[in-house]
A and B are shown apart, each in its own frame.
Chain A
Amino acid sequence: MEISEQKVVAVIMVGGPTKGTRFRPLSFNTPKPLFPLAGQPMVHHPISACKRISNLAQIFLIGFFEEREFTLYVSSISNELKIPVRYLKEDKPRGSAGGLYYFRNIIMEDNPSHIFLLNCDVCCSFPLTNMLEAHKRYGGMGTVSAETANQFGELVADPITKELLHYTEKPETFVSDLINCGLYIFTPDIFTAIQEVSTHREDQANLRHLSTFEALQSPTRAFPLDFVRLDQDILSPFAGKKQLYTYETMDFWEQIKTPGMSLKCSGLYLSQFRFTSPDLLAGGDGTRSALIVGDVYVHPSAKVHPTAKIGPNVSISANVRVGAGARLINCIVLDDVEVQENAVVINSIVGWKSSIGKWSRVQADGDYNAKLGITILGEAVMVEDEVVVINSIVLPNKTLNLSVQDEIIL
């Protein structure tokens, strides 16, 4: 049979507002998927990666945020990339696989041969084209991307065939050193598999002569019939049955769960720009424009005084003003911020519309995983002149006129 040019689609899971409280205080006014990393919204990075796949027909964003939060972004990115990007709002929690199943008719509109499923809060090089080739070679129902890591791995793969042999979620003892990278490719068979899980649950309940209500009450059946999780309900049971395979990557990979990690990942993307899009990075030698060290992104509308020194790993968003003699190292400075003369910002994230006073110092140790390892200033935080803020998190609309250290300021 001739296999003509078959289409593929991508689905990006973006989460919702009451989940992801770990991203506070940055998530109070902006949905996490739209938080900028290296000058672009978080979700933009997987979207751009999907665009590189040939025969991509559509990109779907699935989540719990209100539609209006994504309307503007979705319309502008569709325009820019010349490909339909649609936001689909889930009406109730159905699990990571249940949500995919719920929208199956829309997803299958163009009769795609393959479906990419990505998690929005994954930061990596998205080797999607190579992964698709590997998936086609394996000929299974799904391929999971995996990477060797120091933490407790969930995947066991056959070293020759790369088949997924075993999957366990959040293991407490050593199972393997391969972790799930949150990128998947499926053939449309996945929908049948998800449906089987729901049906099987229903059958089990019937077998025990329990009503559905009673089945829900029993401790082993805590979920509604249509709540299907990808990890426990699909990957785990289908492992070892020659249906699922793994694709190993060696590149950088992080999960963007906290504001601290977003700073780390912004840096990873900035260093990637040096190879993929060097024109996005700023340059300057301190004569007519500010001295730039390392990888730095500066939005075209931002104004940086020539005597300031910026970098490495700094991302400056729209309408920011950086005054004379300021020093920025390893930080994200969000829209409309004013950094006044001779201020110093190190290992921090400065929230929208905030103000950093003259000779003030906003810094942190730089431990991306510690609770207070990166200083976070929420929206509209005013740091007065000469004040020092170290290893702290400040909620929106506060004015700091006294120095603080190791504190969360409500």
Chain B
Amino acid sequence: MKALILVGGFGTRLRPLTLSVPKPLVDFANKPMILHQIEALKAVGVTEVVLAINYQPEVMLNFLKEFEAKLGITITCSQETEPLGTAGPLALARDKLIDESGEPFFVLNSDVISEYPFKEIIEFHKAHGGEASIMVTKVDEPSKYGVVVMEESTGQVDKFVEKPKLFVGNKINAGIYLLNPSVLDRIELRPTSIEKEVFPKIAAEKKLYAMVLPGFWMDIGQPRDYITGLRLYLDSLRKKASTKLATGSHIVGNVLVHETAKIGEGCLIGPDVAIGPGCVVESGVRLSRCTVMRGVRIKKHACISSSIIGWHSTVGQWARVENMTILGEDVHVCDEIYSNGGVVLPHKEIKSSILKPEIVM
């Protein structure tokens, strides 16, 4: 089976992290974002993954070579020369997605994390015999999104309503699709929206079905949702394979610590923390609701919450970092500094406190 992952553009909402690497390679729970999806696809028998990109192909291609070998799956890139929207890239990658087998192929939005119940959607797709299956997820405030109006028992999709003012339903498009090759015949090679142009047509022919996504769902394309997403992910990990999570008297709640990371004495770590490869957390450190990326050093007595610490940064002794502070790559927060929501671009040194949310260029 084949899969297309819509990677898209510059990932500007995840800056400053995406100033250093393209968004799919930004680590989430100690693994490049896109690797979570690729591994889940491999697990259901997908043999080839196509990445639809329009930015930094060289960086992506280097990364892919490494993972192709490790995972035993073919990964190729399909590069847009102009932005093609959410459906155009499918037309562009047509030749890579169709083969003689006539099997359906997956399409995923690269920002989405979930439990990726791909086996379930394959079975669902076979059962209803329609042309396309999409996963939907229930949300509290559907009018912020595009709502999928569907028949609850069969899942047959009636229509899509963009940001409805009156309540029409509470299921939104989760960005996971399983499509028959015939869908490609409906898409022209031009900027096209799958939700506004392609799916409505298939729905009108009563050939589009939606399945409610079991488990958690999050679009981690921006820092606040990234942090919430980590909580959901670790929660799910606890339910499934809790041996991966850290244990010990210094651990509270769900915490992921890479095997090459070192944690000192007298720390209190958690809940909802991910500590990446090669990190050094010195003694007396408090970490909660945060991501600490590869190669970071957190010095003694520091306290970090609700923040993301970018690759190879350091946080000084007694520093306090909180409230959606995002440190880019190679940022050094000096001893005793306080950061309240500082968003710091790469290669900076923070020598004076940031008292209210501010971008430091």
Is the CB–CB distance between B9 and A21 below 8 Å? no
Is the CB–CB distance between A21 and B10 below 8 Å? no
In the assembled complex, A24 has its CB within 8 A of some CB on chain B: yes
User: Taking the nearest CB of chain B, how far is it from the CB of A130, in angstroms?
Assistant: 39
Using Cβ atoms and an 8 Å threshold, which residues of chain B touch A18? Answer: 330, 347
Bound-state Cα–Cα, A396 to B19, Å:
10
Contacts A18-B347, A21-B347, A21-B348: A397 and B361 contacting too (C-beta < 8 A)?
Answer: no
CB < 8 Å neighbour of A24 from B9, B330, B343, B345: B345
Per-position contact with B for A183-209: 1 when CB-CB < 8 Å, else 0?
Answer: 000000000000000000000000000
Using Cβ atoms and an 8 Å threshold, which residues of chain B touch A395? Answer: 12, 15
Contacts A18-B347, A410-B15: A24 and B361 contacting too (C-beta < 8 A)?
Answer: yes
A sample of 10 more A-B contacts (CB under 8 A), given A28-B19, A410-B15, is A18-B347, A21-B345, A21-B347, A22-B361, A24-B361, A25-B361, A395-B15, A396-B10, A398-B12, A410-B13
Residue of B nearest to A24 (CB): B361
CB < 8 Å neighbour of B10 from A22, A397, A408: A397
In the assembled complex, A393 has its CB within 8 A of some CB on chain B: yes
Using Cβ atoms and an 8 Å threshold, which residues of chain B touch A22? Answer: 361
Per-position contact with A for B321-359: 1 when CB-CB < 8 Å, else 0?
Answer: 000000000100000000000010101100000000001
Among B16, B343, B361, find the residue whose CB has the most chain A CB atoms closer than 10 A: B361
Contacts A397-B9, A397-B12: A410 and B348 contacting too (C-beta < 8 A)?
Answer: no
Using Cβ atoms and an 8 Å threshold, which residues of chain B touch A21? Answer: 345, 347-348, 361
CB-defined A-B contacts under 8 Å, sample of 19? A18-B330, A18-B347, A21-B345, A21-B347, A21-B348, A21-B361, A22-B361, A24-B345, A24-B361, A393-B361, A395-B12, A397-B10, A398-B12, A408-B359, A408-B361, A410-B12, A410-B13, A410-B16, A410-B359
Contacts A21-B361, A24-B361, A25-B361: A410 and B343 contacting too (C-beta < 8 A)?
Answer: yes
Using Cβ atoms and an 8 Å threshold, which residues of chain B touch A410? Answer: 12-13, 15-16, 343, 359
Main secondary structure of the interface of B (DSSP, over half): loop
Per-position contact with B for A1-42: 1 when CB-CB < 8 Å, else 0?
Answer: 000000000000000001001101100100000000000000
Bound-state Cα–Cα, A21 to B9, Å:
24
Bound-state Cα–Cα, A18 to B329, Å:
12
Interface size on B, residues (CB 8 A): 14
User: Taking the nearest CB of chain A, how far is it from the CB of B130, in angstroms?
Assistant: 36
Using Cβ atoms and an 8 Å threshold, which residues of chain A touch B16? Answer: 410
Among A24, A25, A28, A393, find the residue whose CB has the most chain B CB atoms closer than 10 A: A24
User: Taking the nearest CB of chain A, how far is it from the CB of B8, in angstroms?
Assistant: 12
Using Cβ atoms and an 8 Å threshold, which residues of chain B touch A24? Answer: 345, 361
- Residues of B whose CB lies within 8 Å of any CB of A are 9-10, 12-13, 15-16, 19, 330, 343, 345, 347-348, 359, 361
Bound-state Cα–Cα, A410 to B347, Å:
16
- Interface range for A: 10 to 19
Using Cβ atoms and an 8 Å threshold, which residues of chain A touch B12? Answer: 395, 397-398, 410
Using Cβ atoms and an 8 Å threshold, which residues of chain A touch B9? Answer: 397
Bound-state Cα–Cα, A22 to B347, Å:
11
Bound-state Cα–Cα, A395 to B348, Å:
17
User: Taking the nearest CB of chain B, how far is it from the CB of A60, in angstroms?
Assistant: 26
Residue of A nearest to B14 (CB): A410
User: Taking the nearest CB of chain A, how far is it from the CB of B42, in angstroms?
Assistant: 32
Using Cβ atoms and an 8 Å threshold, which residues of chain A touch B10? Answer: 396-397
Bound-state Cα–Cα, A101 to B220, Å:
51
Bound-state Cα–Cα, A399 to B13, Å:
12
Among A18, A408, A410, find the residue whose CB has the most chain B CB atoms closer than 10 A: A410
User: Taking the nearest CB of chain B, how far is it from the CB of A401, in angstroms?
Assistant: 14
Using Cβ atoms and an 8 Å threshold, which residues of chain A touch B15? Answer: 395, 410
Using Cβ atoms and an 8 Å threshold, which residues of chain A touch B13? Answer: 410
User: Taking the nearest CB of chain A, how far is it from the CB of B115, in angstroms?
Assistant: 31
Bound-state Cα–Cα, A398 to B9, Å:
11
Bound-state Cα–Cα, A396 to B12, Å:
9
Bound-state Cα–Cα, A62 to B345, Å:
26
Residue of B nearest to A19 (CB): B347
User: Taking the nearest CB of chain A, how far is it from the CB of B359, in angstroms?
Assistant: 4
Bound-state Cα–Cα, A380 to B290, Å:
33
Using Cβ atoms and an 8 Å threshold, which residues of chain B touch A28? Answer: 19
User: Taking the nearest CB of chain B, how far is it from the CB of A66, in angstroms?
Assistant: 16
Bound-state Cα–Cα, A396 to B16, Å:
12
Bound-state Cα–Cα, A410 to B348, Å:
16
User: Taking the nearest CB of chain A, how far is it from the CB of B65, in angstroms?
Assistant: 24
User: Taking the nearest CB of chain A, how far is it from the CB of B162, in angstroms?
Assistant: 17
Residue of B nearest to A398 (CB): B12
Using Cβ atoms and an 8 Å threshold, which residues of chain A touch B19? Answer: 28
Residue of B nearest to A20 (CB): B347
Using Cβ atoms and an 8 Å threshold, which residues of chain A touch B359? Answer: 408, 410
Bound-state Cα–Cα, A37 to B332, Å:
32
Bound-state Cα–Cα, A350 to B84, Å:
26
Residue of A nearest to B358 (CB): A408
Residue of A nearest to B55 (CB): A397
Bound-state Cα–Cα, A397 to B55, Å:
11
Bound-state Cα–Cα, A43 to B10, Å:
31
Bound-state Cα–Cα, A28 to B12, Å:
14
User: Taking the nearest CB of chain B, how far is it from the CB of A93, in angstroms?
Assistant: 14
The 4 closest A-B pairs by CB, nearest first: A410-B15, A408-B359, A397-B10, A18-B347
Using Cβ atoms and an 8 Å threshold, which residues of chain A touch B330? Answer: 18
User: Taking the nearest CB of chain A, how far is it from the CB of B23, in angstroms?
Assistant: 12
Bound-state Cα–Cα, A393 to B16, Å:
15
Using Cβ atoms and an 8 Å threshold, which residues of chain A touch B347? Answer: 18, 21
Residue of B nearest to A407 (CB): B359
Residue of A nearest to B359 (CB): A408
Which A residues from 69 to 109 make CB contacts under 8 A with B? none
